[in-house]
Amino acid sequence: MSGGWAGSNRRAELPPDWQTVIRPAVLQRDEHRCRNRIGGRVCGRPANQVDHIGDKHDHRIEMLQALCADCHNAKSSRQGNDARWAERMRRPPERHPGLI
């Protein structure tokens, strides 16, 4: 597996009807257009991916949106960076080597 899915178990967390029912329904509802807002405007480029708006385990159609690959990658990267920084901020401060 390459790209953003490398080393991920995310596909195993999706419901069995993700590819056959849920994903196609969201893309059709959103007319295969990216629903991401950039500067207050909808991106509108052709969408081929479906994204969770809130909780990644909430697979209700109203909690999903169609996104283009660029917007989905940017959103996922931003979420990953936020998670890494949150973890880093929980790390206890190291003692200065001169004070040990």
Contact criterion met (CB below 8 Å) for 54 and 91: no
pLDDT tens-digit profile, the chain (100 residues): 445 556 667 778 899 999 999 999 999 999 999 999 988 999 999 999 999 998 889 999 999 999 999 999 999 888 888 777 777 667 677 788 876 5
Output 21-25 pairs: Cβ under 8 A, ≥24 positions apart: 22/50, 22/59, 22/61, 22/64, 23/50, 25/61
Query: Tell me, what's the pLDDT at 25?
Result: 97
Q: How many CA atoms lie within 13 A of 12 on its CB side?
A: 3
Distances (CA, A) of 62 to 15, 48, 96: 16, 17, 51
pTM of the model: 0.74
Q: What is the pLDDT of residue 2?
A: 47
Rounded Cα distance, 53 and 10, in Å: 16
Any idea where the domains of the chain sit in the sequence? Answer: 14-85
